[in-house]
Amino acid sequence: MSSTKISSLSAKAIVSGLASRSFALDDVIATFVERTKKVCPALNSHVFFSEEVISKQVDALKKTSNPESYPLFGVPVLVKDNICTMDMPTTCGSKILAGYVPQYDATVISRLRNAGAVIFGKTNQDEFAMGSSNENSAYGPVKNPWDLERVPGGSSGGSAAAVAAELVPVALGSDTGGSIRQPASFCGVVGLKPTYGAVSRYGLVAYGSSLDCIGPITRSVEDAAMVFDVISGHDPKDATSLHSGSREIPNSEAMVSKKRIGVISELIGTGNDLDTTHSFKEAVLELKALGAVVEEVSLPEIEYSIAMYYLIATAEASSNLARFDGIRFGHRSSDPTQSLKELYLNSRSEGFGKEVKQRIMLGTFALSSGYYDAYYGKALNAREQLKSAVKRLFSQYDFLISPTSPTTAFKIGEKIADPLSMYLSDIGTIAANLAGIPAISIPCGMSESRLPIGLQIMAPWNQETSLLQLAGIYEKKLKWSERYKPNV
């Protein structure tokens, strides 16, 4: 099989091909190594890539006695730079963690390795996962493989761009307010945000601890289900992790018949561009053709979701990022005459980027004496109201849908000076994080300027099986990835 064909294979096809000896493990690894060296510089998708580290993993895999028992045997997987890897740096796209190599693997990394996956490097991201465009990285912006002048989305932009460009079939991202789903939409791939707690957060560098989720970015729903099955499940190292079983996904169109799907009216009106609106309407027609009952529903609480998110997430970030002080690891200011207070101040001022500083200051203010109840406390109360409203909707509907993002990928630099406009690009995705429910973005259309458009499907708490099943049936019906490929 040619290297071009291998690079376009799904994770499932790679596992099957290796098991049937259609090609060898060395062929798979060499193909993706060469493609990475060829394409990565144009995308700026990686912050760490080492053939030596990859070779060590492959050598260990070759010694396994029964490769067929490994569900991801030989599958190259990229990992977002905020997930700890003991043989690669983890810098969160920030100067303050430059050169930091953890002494342990995150639980998701251990589970991937135990399943036979090859960790292929670390991907570029918005600094500490704070951003919607991947322009806030200390390593520079990632480019969208569909148009190198446009952003890939954020904060998991490097992961989404790499999967879309066929540098790997699978990457991990993290999602605090849409950071898996929005870049998946912009890059024309599948992005799954699991139920909060379904995947262990142990080894994920925290941004907003009550919101953060790790999930897969792939080119097919089937691959997303495979990876989710490997990385999900209870972890005693994470007190918030859930007990859950296998998520094997049956694929029957009969499953869709009579299912009730709610279209969130607040997310389909003004603010969406014409191409997004058109593609979303086409997706609704496809779901109706499959036998689903699709109706508009109202979720007025979503109007306040941006405000809730940027109070809760920044307050938690203010606390979580206090540990980066230039003492134990990461960047330390080099002035030998400074006091301890000056060391903290200078190290953090030099190490953190502008967006991170803004969010730390906003969160610190929201938690400060005299303002806690007025801001952070009120946001927590509003979050509970949103969760209750979502729960009521799911008592009547099996799924909720919306466009993943109100627009297609915007140009690099277009919104960097307008934070509010940037924040509003996550208006469709934040509610799922606040409510703790699973959500997925899958491609549903293409704009006139040949940019991908994503459909978001949300399901009740801990219902990834039915979510993936519906997404897989829709994907099979649309055959989007067979019709469109990026130019890189």
Would you state the structure tokens that stand for residue 356, as one six-digit string?
Answer: 């991170």
Catalytic residue among 10, 12, 45, 80: 80
Decide if 179 is catalytic: yes
Would you state the structure tokens that stand for residue 307, as one six-digit string?
Answer: 């405000």
Decide if 155 is catalytic: yes
Backbone angles phi, psi at 50, to 5 degrees: -140, 115
Catalytic residue among 179, 305, 402, 447: 179
String of b and e for 271-284 (b: at least 16 CB within 10 Å)? bbeebbbebbeebb
Decide if 210 is catalytic: no
Q: Give the separation between CA 143 and CA 29, rounded to whole angstroms.
A: 24
Cα 118–Cα 120–Cα 126 angle in degrees, nearest 5:
135
Would you state the structure tokens that stand for residue 250, as one six-digit string?
Answer: 């049956």
Using an 8 Å Cβ cutoff, are 260 and 293 in contact?
Answer: yes
Catalytic residue among 155, 220, 241, 279: 155
Residues with Cβ < 8 Å from 45, sequence gap 6 or more? 123, 124, 142, 143, 152, 157, 158, 159, 161, 162, 165, 167
Please report, as a single letter, which amino acid is at residue 95. Answer: K
Backbone angles phi, psi at 252, to 5 degrees: -130, 125
Distances (CA, A) of 441 to 6, 110, 179, 366, 425: 25, 26, 11, 32, 14
Give me the active site residues, please. 80, 155, 179
